[in-house]
Amino acid sequence: MNRQAQAAVLFLVGAAVLHAGLTDLYLRYVKAGLRPLLLAAGVVLIMAAVATVWYERRGRGEAGDGHGHVHREPRVAWLLVLPLLALILVSPPALGSYSAMHAGTALQAPLAYPSLPATDPLPLGVVDYAGRAAYDRGRTLAHRRVEVTGFVALAEDGTPYLVRMALNCCAADAQPVKIGLTGHIPPVLQPDTWLQVTGTYTAKQTKDPVNDGRIPFLDVTAAKPVPTPHDPYDESWNN
């Protein structure tokens, strides 16, 4: 791979990174807060490609006849093409029920329980509801109807969970937070189906069989399928 080929690869990788950052594609790889860094990385790669071409042409011009000896890089440099092909050809789906049921819940005790608006039903994230239900004994949820959205996962015994994968940085470190469902559950549930569930707090809890973490339950009064959300990951657990 000569310098011009390297520049072409750098330019294409930078363009692909910019494309991902300017569309929703980047949400398949990293958390939303990293978008500015991703865009900056794309710009830097494109600038590096342009600088490589400029210095290469300048070096040839200084050689006199423009036919100086060309220094080729090791063939292993062609591995730079792999991330480009991955970005162009592969759009990975968000992690789903299989990953969720093979990993322990990432639920942690919240540092605080902010006051909640008087909305009815009250929209809450999976992490927010689970933290309040598991560690605050539902005190801030008492006598409230809540509305929670997540995807369905089924335990080996058939227990349905509503799940959201929580991100720390990127999809590679995503971990599930799970809510058990009880009450008026739809008779047929397909794993990875996204549901908007309305219900009330229940003191029922169980232990995650993978890591013994707490899994609170939600007493369901209504449930309906919804499209996959714009951002399928939940980033609130470490904010």
CATH no. for residue 122?
2.40.50.140
Structure tokens at 1: 């791979």
Asked if the model's pLDDT at residue 66 lies above 60, the reply is no
Asked if the model's pLDDT at residue 7 lies above 80, the reply is no
From the list 212, 197, 200, the residue with the least C-alpha distance to 143 is 200
Asked if the model's pLDDT at residue 86 lies above 70, the reply is no
Last residue of a domain, one of 73, 89, 105: 89
Asked if the model's pLDDT at residue 67 lies above 60, the reply is no
Per-residue model confidence (pLDDT) at position 60: 66
Q: Would you say 193 and 171 are in contact if contact means Cβ atoms under 8 Å apart?
A: no
**Residues 124, 52 within the same domain:** no
Per-residue model confidence (pLDDT) at position 121: 94
Q: Count CB neighbours of 140 within 10 A.
A: 16
Better pLDDT: 165 or 93: 165
State the pLDDT confidence band at 239, using cuts at 50, 70 and 90.
Answer: very low
230: DSSP letter: S
State the pLDDT confidence band at 165, using cuts at 50, 70 and 90.
Answer: confident
**Residues 221, 135 within the same domain:** yes
Last residue of a domain, one of 89, 118, 141: 89
170: DSSP letter: B
Segments of the chain assigned E as strands: 122-124, 145-154, 160-166, 175-183, 194-207, 214-225, 233-234
**pLDDT tens profile 192-232:** 999 999 999 999 999 999 999 999 999 999 999 999 887 77
Better pLDDT: 93 or 126: 126
Q: Would you say 218 and 144 are in contact if contact means Cβ atoms under 8 Å apart?
A: no
Helix H or strand E encompassing 207 = strand 194-207
Residue with tokens 């300048």: 58
Average pLDDT of the residues in 112-131: 92
Residue with tokens 């400029």: 54
**Residues 73, 138 within the same domain:** no
Q: Count CB neighbours of 161 within 10 A.
A: 27
Query: By residue range, what is the domain housing residue 60?
Result: 3-89
End-to-end CA distance of the chain: 44
**Residues 54, 109 within the same domain:** no
